[in-house]
């Protein structure tokens, strides 16, 4: 694993020795890490959407208070973008399987080999970068959409419905020339070079 300056590995585990060990392990390969001893403490420090760095969450299953699985469900409801690697004891494998079904990236059993954890985190980082790139693209496209005026949005809906300018002019009680002007404005504001590209941009939001 090569050093990655912008990545941050998040660790939630109530075992202090385990937290320290994982932080040291990640530091040894050039990865920054932050650790919390409980789910509540982690949630209190959770970055705002859109400001999160590439990374992964290494999450213990059994902890006092909120469990790892409960935290995972809560994060899913908040559209948490980072992959979650579940750390589990031998008796918690069924729980880990449930976590996978709920969207966890993978799980690792204690005691684990350090290289195994590093391999999982490296794979999770690749997924994280792809997700964050996609999220940034969606936010940019949504911002462009917000800049459209009401009439421009109506014309956009017509374009997406495959309506010709003449049909849109009739529907909106406007001249074809006016529709053409709105259509050009939509393409410019959405930064689309063609109708096909415009459709792909809108589909990205879905």
Q: Tens of pLDDT along the chain (206 residues)? A: 444 458 999 999 999 999 999 999 999 999 999 999 999 999 999 887 667 889 999 999 889 899 999 999 999 988 888 999 999 876 677 888 888 888 899 989 888 999 999 999 999 999 999 888 888 888 899 999 999 999 999 999 999 999 999 999 999 999 999 999 999 999 999 999 999 999 999 998 87
SS3 content of the chain, % helix, strand, coil (to 5): 55, 10, 30
User: Where do the domains of the chain lie?
Assistant: 8-137, 147-205
Under CATH, which number does the domain 147-205 receive? 1.10.10.10
Class of CATH domain 8-137: alpha beta
Q: Which helix (H) or strand (E) holds 114?
A: helix 114-146
Q: How far apart are CA 56 and CA 206, in angstroms?
A: 25
- Predicted pLDDT of residue 100: 85
- Predicted pLDDT of residue 49: 67
Do residues 108 and 86 lie in contact, with contact meaning Cβ atoms separated by under 8 Å? Answer: yes
């Amino acid at each position: 694993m090569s050093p990655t300056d912008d990545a941050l590995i998040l660790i939630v585990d109530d075992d202090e020795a385990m937290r320290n060990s994982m932080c040291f392990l990640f530091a040894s390969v050039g990865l920054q890490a932050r650790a919390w001893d409980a789910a509540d403490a982690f949630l209190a420090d959770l970055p705002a959407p859109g400001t999160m760095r590439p990374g992964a969450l290494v999450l213990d299953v059994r902890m006092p208070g909120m469990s790892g699985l409960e935290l995972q469900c809560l994060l899913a409801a908040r559209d948490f973008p980072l992959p979650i690697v579940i750390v589990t004891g031998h008796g918690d494998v069924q729980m880990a399987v449930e976590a996978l079904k709920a969207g966890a990236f993978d799980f690792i059993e204690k005691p684990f080999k350090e290289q195994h954890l590093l391999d999982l985190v490296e794979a999770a980082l690749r997924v994280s970068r792809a997700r964050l790139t996609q999220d940034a693209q969606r936010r940019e496209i949504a911002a462009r959409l917000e800049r459209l005026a009401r009439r421009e949005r109506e014309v956009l809906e017509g374009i997406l419905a495959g309506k010709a300018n003449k049909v849109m002019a009739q529907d909106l009680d406007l001249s074809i020339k006016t529709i053409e002007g709105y259509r050009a404005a939509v393409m410019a504001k959405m930064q689309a070079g063609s109708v096909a590209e415009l459709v792909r941009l809108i589909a990205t939001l879905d």
